[in-house]
Amino acid sequence: MSIPFLDPRQSYIEIKEELDDAYQRVMQSGTYILGEVVESFETDFAIYCEANFAVGVANGLDALTLSLRALDIGADDEVIVPSHTFIATWLAVSQSGATPIAVEPDEHTFNIDPALIEGKITSRTKAIIAVHLYGQPADLEAIQSIAKRHNLYLIEDAAQAHGARYKGKRIGARGDVVCWSFYPGKNLGAYGDGGAVTTNNRSIANKIRTLRNYGSQEKYHNELMGYNSRLDPLQASMLQVKLRHLDRWNMHRCTIAHHYFEALKDADLMLPFTPNWAQPVWHLFVIRHPRRNELKELLTRNGIGCLIHYPIPPHKQIAYLATGQIFDPLPLAEKFATEVLSLPIGPHISHSDAEAVTECVLKLN
């Protein structure tokens, strides 16, 4: 038996004709940087996210970095980040010149605990980055009211949450800026790198549009120290096709998650928790198990792909140890690193695959 954790090729096989047609049209068009196809995808993606504007960039890390730059966050500033996240959230802050200040997660949702944020705000704090980890929205209203009270920007890292809803509304425009990745393994993934920023704020959208293109709106006129971080039209053409299938693929993820919940409800492990206001899209299905390493070995031995998200929290990475920054104790992030395990989920996982996964998990109980 072989159940891969991820199969980025599956979507290509499934909708090959649509995709081939889309990228061949870009090849024929002669426009290989920005242009109509990128604009057209931006329009579709903004509508999908219920946002006024979308700006395509080169990847998710750049979406975050350019957003921080657009908000004039840099040296001497502090930015609140979750202690439990993919390191890109932190790296963007560090690359902007600011300092990431870690806040621990809620024990049940894995997302930043709003109750712990105010304790970390100082006179240097400029923004809060909320990550919708594993595809489940963070508690945006609670975080937004803290941001308002302290006059901070709210940046959302939605790299794992394409299509998720918070209190009925799509993730996409509640914060000042919302950052997306189209890395192939994401719910909406390209066949290469890609990213975007969505926002309801026209001037922020324009600034990111300028920053992504050498800081220039008019060729050879540079107003900002910009970047070269543009969404590739070949990728945009395929993302536009895939966007039309995203809700169906997300629905499939939900049915697999449903199977995991039902089959594992009496097992000796912790299942994910979903608050009633959250409509997650199950980018990852993450369980906590006291004998995590044993379970991982068992699954792997049985040909079932499973991964740890994430084995080392950012503050324990050599890159951050080397900065000399002193972090307050972050015991939950460290505990999660030893207990979490992601079961395979995605459009490539069939119901019989999911049954095989849960049968195997239950063997350890």
Ligand X SMILES: *Cc1c(COP(=O)(O)O)cnc(C)c1O
Q: What residues line the site for ligand X (CB under 6 A)?
A: 59-61, 85-86, 88-89, 131, 157, 159-160, 181, 183, 193, 195
Spatial distance between the Cα atoms of 349 and 353, rounded to a whole number of angstroms: 6
Q: Least distance to ligand X from the beta carbon of 138, Å? A: 11
Of the two residues 136 and 210, which places its CB atom closer to ligand X in the complex?
A: 136
- Rg of the chain on CA atoms, in Å: 20
CA distances from 305 to 70, 231, 343, 353 (A): 39, 31, 7, 11
Of the two residues 132 and 259, which places its CB atom closer to ligand X in the complex?
A: 132
Of the two residues 177 and 356, which places its CB atom closer to ligand X in the complex?
A: 177
Of the two residues 229 and 259, which places its CB atom closer to ligand X in the complex?
A: 229
Nearest residue to 340 via CA among 264, 270, 254: 270
Spatial distance between the Cα atoms of 362 and 360, rounded to a whole number of angstroms: 5
Q: Least distance to ligand X from the beta carbon of 1, Å? A: 28
Of the two residues 89 and 213, which places its CB atom closer to ligand X in the complex?
A: 89
Q: Least distance to ligand X from the beta carbon of 193, Å? A: 6
Spatial distance between the Cα atoms of 248 and 315, rounded to a whole number of angstroms: 37
CA 62, 63, 64, 67 torsion-angle sign: positive
Q: Least distance to ligand X from the beta carbon of 17, Å? A: 27
Of the two residues 63 and 269, which places its CB atom closer to ligand X in the complex?
A: 63
Helices (H), 49-200: 60-70, 88-95, 140-149
Nearest residue to 186 via CA among 239, 264, 225, 145: 239
Q: With residue 56 as reference, give the H or E element that holds it.
A: strand 53-57
